[in-house]
Structure 1
């Protein structure tokens, strides 16, 4: 980890809570989560299935409401922001990689990485250069014009990694990003993801249930009974 990059918190969670009602029973999924991630820091979020890892990532990603506590992203208090401001925080500061790649099937690999940049207002030529740079870095220089159906599972997920980093996010959120791949492919894709995140200087919060993969990251936090250990 490049310690010189960790100069300030990219995200801070203070007393984060989330509860659901199920069959008339209150279920407390998050019970006061506190977490700070510095610039350039890669943090593994460990916990078994159903422990609330995805719920925590949804909170940090500002993807749904209903959370208590404070979420501060790049110095902005998200819980006090209106819908438009939260959308801008997601667009300007966050990137996402999911367990399933969710690539647009009618667009090739390069176009899937170009599109989020166009949404953010970048000129097409700049967006295409950025897409080509990222895909080449991930070993997909010869596969840019292939649609997702023509790519292997590992290749699809690498395109998803490039898409998540396309807008140079301050924080990349990844939810079991290699969980849908076999063990050998999973290791290779994660290594490429970590290498590229470090090269880009982004911070990352990566949810996994795989202890071995988590050990490759800078720090491990564990979600247990709704709090971080």
Structure 2
């Protein structure tokens, strides 16, 4: 049996606000297998974004254990966390966060260059991903020249550019209309599954969650229950 891409044990996170301690995560246990797409479902304030920040090694202050790609994150310094993110993780956010002065192809090339990929190879990979997302006519367009759905598809291509073992998506279609949202999510899932990536997708949308392999429901900082997705692939 393959080892999980990510393994969380008793993960907890608290914040102090006005002298009051607020427990945002209260002992989360979760494993995601290679190639598995998991929906993280819960209302606003349930701890979804905080959990993604933990899994993404974006900040410290967490209690419990995080094991990514077989490596414990507990004693990593900032530089080691950055290396782990660059080599093993991809990120898609509700807002695309594309670099405005670079075109679509360049936005997908840049993370590869940071990993040491040669420019020609990075360009080929960028064009392959953008083409698979229906953007082969948009390579040289800057974000301001793209629609919202097109911008988010560039963000998906960027997240997958370095072939991450785990893709983290925080409400990746939350800023899109329903039709565009369905199209972007379908293309995202097709690419992720085609490449064998694992993914953890935070959403509050039951309909979108049903298209994934497993649904994990987070409530007040704990996993309330896990269920198979309702819709067959």
Q: What residue is the counterpart of 2:23 in the other structure?
A: 28
Which whole-Å CA distance do the structure 2 matches of 1:151 and 1:135 have between them?
13
Q: What residue is the counterpart of 2:156 in the other structure?
A: 161
Shift of 1:82: 2.1
- Post-superposition Cα deviations, 1:43-67, rounded to whole Å, max 9, x if no partner, equal 0000001111000000000001110
Q: 2:6 aligns with which of 3, 11, 27?
A: 11
Q: 2:133 aligns with which of 125, 134, 138?
A: 138
Which whole-Å CA distance do the structure 2 matches of 1:71 and 1:8 have between them?
14
Q: 1:92 aligns with which of 77, 87, 101?
A: 87
Q: What residue is the counterpart of 2:112 in the other structure?
A: 117
Which whole-Å CA distance do the structure 2 matches of 1:24 and 1:85 have between them?
33
Q: What residue is the counterpart of 1:173 in the other structure?
A: 168
Q: What residue is the counterpart of 2:147 in the other structure?
A: 152
- Post-superposition Cα deviations, 1:63-89, rounded to whole Å, max 9, x if no partner, equal 011100000000000012222221111
- Number of residue pairs matched? 224
**Which runs of at least 4 in structure 1 moved beyond 6 Å after TM superposition?**
none
Q: What residue is the counterpart of 1:69 in the other structure?
A: 64
Q: What residue is the counterpart of 2:227 in the other structure?
A: none
Contact 2:45 2:220 in 1 (8 A): no
Shift of 1:113: 0.1
Which whole-Å CA distance do the structure 1 matches of 2:44 and 2:78 have between them?
30
Shift of 1:8: 1.9
Q: What residue is the counterpart of 2:228 in the other structure?
A: none
Over the residues paired in the alignment, what is the CA RMSD in angstroms? 0.8
Shift of 1:213: 0.2
TM-score by length of 2: 0.95
Contact 2:41 2:209 in 1 (8 A): yes
Shift of 1:15: 0.4
Which whole-Å CA distance do the structure 1 matches of 2:31 and 2:121 have between them?
33
Which segments of 5 or more consecutive residues in structure 2 lack a partner in the other structure?
225-233
- Post-superposition Cα deviations, 1:138-163, rounded to whole Å, max 9, x if no partner, equal 00000111000000000000000000
Which segments of 5 or more consecutive residues in structure 1 lack a partner in the other structure?
1-5
Q: What residue is the counterpart of 2:230 in the other structure?
A: none
TM-score by length of 1: 0.96
